[in-house]
Structure 1
Amino acid sequence: MEFRFDANQEYQTDAIEAVTNLLEGQPRIELDMSLILEWGSAAVMNRLDLDEENLLENLQAVQQKNDISPDESLQYIEETIETIRGKKTIYFPNFSVEMETGTGKTYVYLRTALQLFQRYGLRKFIIVVPSVAVREGVLKTLKVTERHFRELYSNPPYRYYIYDSVNLSQVRQFALSDGLEIMVMTIDAFNKAANVIRQSTDRLMGETPLHLVQSTRPILILDEPQNMESEKSMALPLPL
């Protein structure tokens, strides 16, 4: 049995366009295979060239098109976190997309990631989920949609996987790859200070997995954020 997906559901394509249009005017990132040193680690990273005024104008245009009262300012997440260079205050915009249960939100945000890669060259995505059960559901959706997405986007170079503290080579691959990388993680991977992701390790030649991930400036997709509203959960130690 094979699932077949309709790529032309209007409410889904409208949601995808709403997100991609937030970055209208962002030039596509073309890589020359040279590695970029960000915060001390070698990585191929996302880049945002738009300023706050551009982002707000784009947000208001999207809201007006969808009959939503325009916001007067951007909403940001700001937090002081540990980085390879010590404590650093990060500051990045936070956008919320709401969809009814059963309308295919997982399909929509996965396809949005591919759309952002195709249109702007953004290539590092982390999907943060509240539980192992949701994580397994996301992985299943990635598997059953893979053929559909490859056909829809002309076979883009993309990989997806669950973060596994036993297989830290995936973290290095995430940082160094010039293709589209989608890493799925539970919120618990961040919440415990003793987690492997926060420890330097010989398996990464002394580097800390979290610092490698930070260096890519990943786009965070929070699945079911209403289930991650504790103070600790909202203070994710990653920049955009």
Structure 2
Amino acid sequence: MAEMKFKYTIQDYQTQAVEHVVRVFSGQPFHDNLSYRRDTGSQVIDRNLFNQELSDDELYTGFANAPVVLDEMQLLNNIKTVQREANIKESSNLAKHMGACSLDVEMETGTGKTYVYIKTMFELNKKYGWSKFIVVVPSIAIREGVQKSFETMQDHFMEQYKRKARFFVYNSKNLTDIDNFSSSADLSVMIINVQAFNARGKDARRIRMELDEFGSRRPIDVIQANRPIIILDEPQKMGGKKTQDALKEFNPLFILNYSATHKEHHDLVYVLDALDAYQMKLVKKIEVKGFELKNLRGTDGYSNFAYLNPL
């Protein structure tokens, strides 16, 4: 039986959502990954795990995301420019509670936000050279859905960008994946559910433990060295202080938040709400629960529906 292949139609609104994030970093130079000497712990690395002949230097080399060189004022000005053009209320301050900035993308459920943030990874890699990403999800079920999306979209993005994303689901029993993540210069993505890292005390997760099978290293320390860009899928379900404190341990370069219903607000750079989705025939029906000026600049003098849900 022939393998079924999915065909994806590139939607204009999805392209806009990607471009709005990418433009926040206008002025950032393209920089191939920064190399660093990987901590390989006390273990002897098995060269057979790497599918090529490697010198000692190559074997122990890791690749991290280059730093954001734009200062706070440049980032904020870029954000304001994107917001003005999108008719979004301008930010007064830069949200930088984790990394250089924290950007919100608001997309109604069912409009392809997973596609958007995967495409955003490819564009950030193409434009600026960033290649280390972590997708954080609130549940195992969503994690499995994200993994499936990466699998089914692989050929689609290969056609567009002539490269594939190397992705894996974090599993504390398959720690070789983390070493491969660190040593790869390719576009690399770790998918992890919040339960894998946000427990403490007697319930401490292996991600913070010095593990014999990992050369007496802590997985979190190895991950930190990569300065990953963190993508939060449904951040409103991960807003607890314990989870937020745990996310800081990943040492993120910056944060991208994707949701239809943000509870914590940062710097909003794209909005596709329920009314937009309905008018674009992306959803069949909506329920109006109230009126409110939402996300729009106050000078425009008209209101938008708030709290609109597809039925």
TM range (shorter): 0.7 to 0.9
Give the AA of the match of 2:209: Q
**Which residue of the other structure, out of 231, 234, 253, is the alignment partner of 1:224?**
234
Aligned ranges 1:93-172 → 2 under 5 Å:
93-154=101-162, 156-172=163-179
Q: Which moved more, 1:131-140 or 1:92-101?
A: 92-101
**Which residue of the other structure, out of 230, 235, 243, is the alignment partner of 1:233?**
243
Give the AA of the match of 1:190: F
Residues 215 and 42 of structure 1: CA distance in aligned 2, closer, same or farther (over 3 Å): farther
Which whole-Å CA distance do the structure 2 matches of 1:166 and 1:209 have between them? Answer: 11
SS at match of 2:191: strand
Count of aligned positions: 224
RMSD (Å) for aligned C-alpha atoms: 1.9
TM-score, length-scaled by structure 2: 0.68
TM-score, length-scaled by structure 1: 0.88
**Aligned 8 A contact 2:154 2:165 in 1:** no
Q: Partner residue of 1:84?
A: none
Mapped pair 1:69 → 2:79: no
Select the structure of larger CA radius of gyration.
Answer: 2
**Aligned 8 A contact 1:36 1:45 in 2:** no
**Aligned 8 A contact 2:83 2:89 in 1:** yes
Which whole-Å CA distance do the structure 2 matches of 1:146 and 1:20 have between them? Answer: 21
Aligned ranges 1:142-221 → 2 under 5 Å:
142-154=150-162, 156-193=163-200, 194-221=204-231
Q: Partner residue of 1:87?
A: none
Structure 1 runs of 4+ aligned residues shifted over 6 Å read none
Which whole-Å CA distance do the structure 2 matches of 1:210 and 1:42 have between them? Answer: 18
Residues 102 and 157 of structure 1: CA distance in aligned 2, closer, same or farther (over 3 Å): closer
Q: How far apart are 1:186 and its partner, in Å?
A: 0.4
Which whole-Å CA distance do the structure 2 matches of 1:64 and 1:20 have between them? Answer: 16
**Aligned 8 A contact 1:35 1:176 in 2:** no
Deviations along 1:77-133, one digit per CA (max 9) or x if unpaired, are 15xxxxxxxxxxxx5421111001110000000110111111110000000000000
Identity of aligned residues (%): 40
Q: 5+ residue gaps in structure 1?
A: 79-90
